[in-house]
Structure 1
Amino acid sequence: MRIKRVLSAVFLLLFFVLISIGGITGVYAAQSRVFDDADLFTTKEKEEFESTIQSMQQEMNMDVVIATTQDTGGKSAKDYAENFYIERKFGKGSDYRGVLFLIDMDNREMYILPVGKMNRFLTDKRWNAILDDAYEAISGGEYAACARIYLDGVIKYYRAGIPGGQYNYDKETGKISVYRSIEWYEAALAILAAAAAAAAVCGGVTSQYSMKKERGRARVALLAYRANCEFSYSAQNDNLINKTITHVIVPRNNGGNGGSGGGMSSGGRSTTHTSSGRTMGGGGRKF
């Protein structure tokens, strides 16, 4: 009888251990952000990338993904990267902010896909610079080194902050969305202006309810009544004597067009488009 109890306790313990291991494995799989379908990385390299990505996610509050593939199913690197990001439901927050790096061995192309607010940090100039830095490594078959350059570039530009004058240019609609950050002194001035406006309104209401004008008018009326004052009105006509018309020619701005982002400087531009409610940018480089 005692042996049966001991065996039951052992089986029960093993059961709970297996459940715990399964739960941990499930959590790890859910948090995985390295998808090496082309088998380009070693196990140690994938563990390294996963660890780096977790630290980046905590610091940036954005998603970071690495994917490789041998077969895109006939899709371009751009379409494959975007579908991969959407179907796997990557991204943080309501704008699905994050970035995906794809090594496409089918089309021989590497592709960087910034999404949401990440487009503010990874402008066209910046993601092109990352691809420039990674080109030599990927051309030499050093795929892990290429992925490291991508991760280093993303965190570097995030820490550098959103560049001044940054704007998103939607290549499909031509719409320009300028990023505007508020400095502390601007916020202080706004608060002071709001306080002054509120004080003026309150002062006006207080003055009206004190009825100072009405009391003054009552005194004047009383004096007029006592003095038996009389008022007489005379008709007056307003005649238009002179009239001046000023014509102003407003010059038409022909300096920009849809393809150039409205003529604005391209240094801080992020060329984007919308797909499945996500603002997506980026581009690729053949190798």
Structure 2
Amino acid sequence: MSKARKIGHFFMLLSIIFVLFLPRITAQAESLNQKQFVYDDAKLLTNEEKAELEALSSKLSKERNTAFLIITVNGTKGKNFVQYVEDFYDEKAPGYDKPHGNPAILFIDMKNRDVHIAGYKKAEDYLDNKRIDLVLDKITPDLSNGDYFHAFSKFITLSHEYMGYRPGISPDNLVFKWWFQLLIAIGVAGLIVGLMAYRSGGRVTVNSHTYLNSNQSRIINKSDRFVRQTVTKQKKPSNNNSSSGGGGISRGGHSHSGGSRKF
């Protein structure tokens, strides 16, 4: 076998090895720090549900470079639930890209019926207190009904969706809804077509003064007289499901956004 052929076979062998091991190397690089996304100590999920949530969170976490984590417990060992999550972040150092990276954490305490969401680093900006309130609005009814898998799935997908909007914008604004944009497009198109049809028929020059003889008309002037004003008052309904326990700073010095509810 010639020297050139040997060199060719050698590089072919290297190429085969590279192709075989590249997916494993890439997979490790994608989530070098975060290997677990669901910590179900309260045993609210079946093994199948937990596996499905792990897969969903792993996929969407990659797209936002943010680990979407779920933690369930039966009691916080005397800690405030916010402090419990803060200590988890300080001690476990979660984050998709690196230790103490970018996680969004959903925390459930079944003993006290508390639900808390916190966002660190990138998630603190893109999943701020207001957006966390929006997520809580949508998942709290499912938690109250005992539909934990559905609530956890919503948390992951909604958090992923909301982090796709730049900070300071309400993701629930009608402007960003596809059906609203479609209605606007149809309305603008209808307006343009109507305007074109109007102009194609010629301009109308007859108006209210065309047949009015101002010298013989007895109408001199007209006016409107303001008689009275009526003001009604209505008490604003209170929101009994308001959020509490917003953002703060952990004992390890890590700031975060946050919001909490009872369910």
Q: TM-score, normalised by structure 1?
A: 0.50
Q: State the Cα deviation string for residues 134-183 of structure 1 (Å, max 9, x = none).
A: 11101111111111111121011011232359xxxxxxxxxxxxxxxxxx
More helix by share: 1
Checking the alignment, whether the CA contact within 8 Å between 1:77 and 1:107 is kept in structure 2 is no
1:124 is matched by which residue type in structure 2?
Answer: N
**1:277 counterpart residue number:** 253
SS at structure 1 position matched to 2:62: helix
Checking the alignment, whether the CA contact within 8 Å between 1:95 and 1:279 is kept in structure 2 is no
Larger-Rg structure: 1
Checking the alignment, whether the CA contact within 8 Å between 1:100 and 1:114 is kept in structure 2 is yes
2:65 is matched by which residue type in structure 1?
Answer: N
Structure 1 residue 94 displacement after superposition: 7.6
Structure 1 stretches of 4+ moved >6 Å: 27-30
2:123 is matched by which residue type in structure 1?
Answer: M
In 1, Cα distance between the equivalents of 2:33 and 2:130? 34
In 1, Cα distance between the equivalents of 2:51 and 2:113? 25
Checking the alignment, whether the CA contact within 8 Å between 1:57 and 1:63 is kept in structure 2 is yes
Decide which of 74, 80, 84 is 2:78's aligned counterpart. 74
Tell me, yes or no, if structure 1 residue 124 matches structure 2 residue 100: no
Tell me, yes or no, if structure 1 residue 60 matches structure 2 residue 64: yes
In 1, Cα distance between the equivalents of 2:137 and 2:113? 15
In 1, Cα distance between the equivalents of 2:250 and 2:84? 15
Checking the alignment, whether the CA contact within 8 Å between 2:38 and 2:70 is kept in structure 1 is yes
Let me know the Cα RMSD of the aligned residues.
2.7
**1:141 counterpart residue number:** 146
1:142 is matched by which residue type in structure 2?
Answer: D
Tell me, yes or no, if structure 1 residue 161 matches structure 2 residue 166: yes
1:126 is matched by which residue type in structure 2?
Answer: R
Checking the alignment, whether the CA contact within 8 Å between 1:273 and 1:280 is kept in structure 2 is yes
Checking the alignment, whether the CA contact within 8 Å between 2:89 and 2:100 is kept in structure 1 is no
In 2, Cα distance between the equivalents of 1:50 and 1:114? 19
Percent of pairs with identical residues: 29
Checking the alignment, whether the CA contact within 8 Å between 2:135 and 2:158 is kept in structure 1 is yes
In 2, Cα distance between the equivalents of 1:31 and 1:95? 14
In 1, Cα distance between the equivalents of 2:157 and 2:34? 24
The aligned runs of 1:217-236 (5 Å cut-off) are none
Query: What are structure 1's unaligned runs of at least 5 residues?
Result: 1-26, 166-269
The verdict on how the C-alpha distance between 1:271 and 1:37 changes in structure 2, with shifts beyond 3 A counting, is: closer
| Paired positions, count | 158
